[in-house]
Structure 1
Amino acid sequence: MDFANTPSFFRSGPKPGTRLLLCALASIALLVGDSRYGLMEQARDGMSLVLYPLQRAVNLPLGMVRHVSDYFTVQADLKSENDQLRTRQLEMSARLARLETLERELNELRSLNAIKASRNDAAQLAETLYTGRDPFSYKIIIDKGADAHLQPGQPVVDGHGLLGQITRVQPLTAEVSLIIDKNQMVPVMIARTGERAILYGYGGGVEIRYLPLHADVRENDMVVTSGIDGLYQEGTPVARVSKVERNAGAAFSRITTEPLAGVQQTRFVLVLQEKGQTPPRPAEPVVPVKKTKGKKPADSE
């Protein structure tokens, strides 16, 4: 028998219609078997494991593109949000600074109003406009002058203590020389002991001079006006003792003080009335000249 000339089954095979019918029957059988008895469950699991690396490889470029896009999107959103927060922080910082300034000014006004209410004289509230032009003198210009009946010599205070005195009056403004000016002197006393002294300004600060070594002065002692002149009322706070140096070789103690008033930072001030006129100093008694017998006083040339 010649097998070479015999047509093979796989070469010829069934007709296309038969193949279609067999495939349809096999598909139906697999569908019914899978739905009823779960015949293809294990096959699907195995195929999913086999095809998972291929699926990951196919989806990897798309996933990378998506991740890169999300990264840049998130970075742009974060930068925009960061810029907005920075801008808002600057605005809030400026607003907070304004609120702190307003709060400080409100506290100053409350202190000055309390001082004004406690006095019987016509104290006047004024605002600091600017400082003096001379950098070697410590002066400020206030917004009250001759129009408010101010006069040279009137003391000026803030909510903490003595600030200075008016030294020049103009029609709408007045010049105030601060107590730290080198030309200013204030009669003071130590509030704890009543020891009287003179407070001198030295251009940027104040100090007490010419107190003897045995004077009872300590650190943190309050220095107030003594009221022995015709300008300052007694008891106005002026400074606080910060350092006391006693050198045995010196004739006087060296006492450093710190002014209580905001001499270089206050905005609102209170102009007080001068102390009432004090009676003039009594004249020195005239010592009579004794006459000598037999001698005449020499003629004065």
Structure 2
Amino acid sequence: MAGSDHAPPPFFKRGPAPLALLTFYVALSLALFFVDLRLRSLDLLRQTVALITDPIQRVAQMPGGLVDNAGDYLRGLDKLLEENRSLKQAQLQTAPNLLRLEQLESENDRLRKLLAVKEREPARGEVARIMYTARDPFTRRIVIDKGQQSGIVAGQPAIDEAGVVGQVTRVFPFSAEITLITDKDQTVPVQVVRSGQRSVVFGLGSGELELRYIPANADIREGDLLVTSGLDGVYLAGFPVAKVVSIERDNSYAFARIRCAPIAAVENFGEVLVLAPRASQPPPPPDSPGRAGNSGTPGQAEKK
């Protein structure tokens, strides 16, 4: 019959056109991106997805990890024996200094108490293993295998055996994300060991750092070591950060352009030590009587 030969319209036969689907999904992605950027409403969803996918990622990485560990074990036997011999020799060479270390530490404690000098805040932390790097090619971030279950919180600094690696910026239930000091959005207050000059080092996003706001005539040289100044309340003072590799001075500019290389192995896999948050800093001193506004404590005001 003529009615049976009638074909349905293409829309109901094949569904929406590919261009229409692409436009819809692009618009949906942009809307979700805008909502998450402005309202931060997808953090709970992101943590839920990370909680579900974290075991899957660990299982998927197990075969490759087993192969790598087996190869490293076989290749490392001779290396371990050689290192053992060298460590024994180094132990014998440093034995005289080690025997005097306990006495020097006790003398140091007595001198600090005598001079009423506040002791340095101890460095405590949690050892974590680097699982992989972040997927975003425009950032310098790594993911570790410790998270909220291990007491990790956002803002904690991370170091390795050589120096500062970065800072925890995002925490999940069983993992955390560390932004490396070489990331373009990361800054670290530093101090030049040789001259005591204080400044701020900025990540360039390319594996290097830049020491900014240093006058062109400042006393700084290639090879100078930069350590944390501890003025930001995040990093303890004295941790190595970077070494100056090049200095460009131009009389037409007030500041020199100083490139630095990180001391720590920020771009290599391994283990890091996530330091515990620093103790709360003392409150700032009250305003002097000459300043405008209320000065002193309420008790002092009443006495006046």
1:99 and 2:76 correspond: yes
Residue 157 (structure 1) aligned to one of 156, 159, 163: 159
How far did 1:228 drift?
0.9
Contact 1:233 1:274 in 2 (8 A): no
The CA deviation at 1:123 is 1.3
Amino acid at match of 2:76: L
- Taking a change above 3 Å as real, the CA distance of residues 276 and 266 of structure 1, as seen in their structure-2 partners, is same
C-alpha separation in 2, matches of 1:240 and 1:100 = 34
- The residue aligned with 1:277 is 280
Deviations 1:146-196 (A, max 9, x none): 111011111101111100010011110010000000110000010111100
Q: Where does residue 202 of structure 2 map in the other structure? A: 200
Whether 1:268 aligns to 2:245 is no
Aligned amino acid, residue 125 of structure 1: V
Contact 1:189 1:196 in 2 (8 A): yes
Shift of 1:278: 1.5
Aligned-partner residue type, residue 215 of structure 1: A
Distance 2:78 2:125 in 1: 25
Aligned to 2:223: 220
The residue number in structure 2 matching 1:287 is: 292
Q: Based on CA coordinates, which of the two structures has the bigger radius of gyration?
A: 1
CA distance, structure 2, for counterparts of residue 166 and residue 102 of structure 1:
33
Amino acid at match of 2:184: K
Q: Is the 8 A contact 1:158 1:266 kept in 2?
A: no
Judged with a 3 Å threshold, the aligned counterparts in structure 2 of structure 1 residues 136 and 283 are, in CA distance, closer, same or farther, namely farther
Matches within 5 A, 1:118-129: 120-129=122-131
Listed as ranges, the gaps of 5+ residues in structure 1 are 1-93, 111-118, 289-301
* C-alpha displacement of 1:101: 12
Distance 2:196 2:132 in 1: 36
The change in CA–CA distance for 1:130 and 1:100 in structure 2 (over 3 A counts) is: farther
1:70-117 CA-partner distances (Å, limit 9, x unpaired): xxxxxxxxxxxxxxxxxxxxxxxx6798429986xx99xx9xxxxxxx
* Residues 1:217 and 1:134: Cα distance change in structure 2 (over 3 Å): same
Alignment pair present for 1:175 and 2:177: yes
CA 1:170–1:100 in 2, change beyond 3 Å: closer, same or farther?
A: farther
Aligned residues: 184
TM-score (norm 2): 0.55
Q: Cα 1:168–1:217, aligned 2, differ >3 Å: closer, same or farther?
A: same
Q: Does 2:228 align with 1:251?
A: no
How many Å apart are 1:266 and its aligned residue?
A: 3.2
Sort the Cα spacing of 1:175 and 1:196 in 2 relative to 1 into closer, same or farther, 3 A.
Answer: same
Q: Which amino acid aligns with 1:179?
A: I
What is the RMSD of the two structures over their aligned residues, measured on CA atoms? Answer: 2.8
Q: Helix, strand or coil: the match of 2:76?
A: helix
The Cα of 1:282 is off from its aligned counterpart by 4.5
Runs of 4+ in 1 over 3 A off after TM superposition: 94-98, 100-103, 119-122, 280-286
TM-score by length of 1: 0.56
Counting aligned pairs with the same residue, the percent is 42
Q: Which SS does the other structure have where 1:151 is aligned?
A: coil
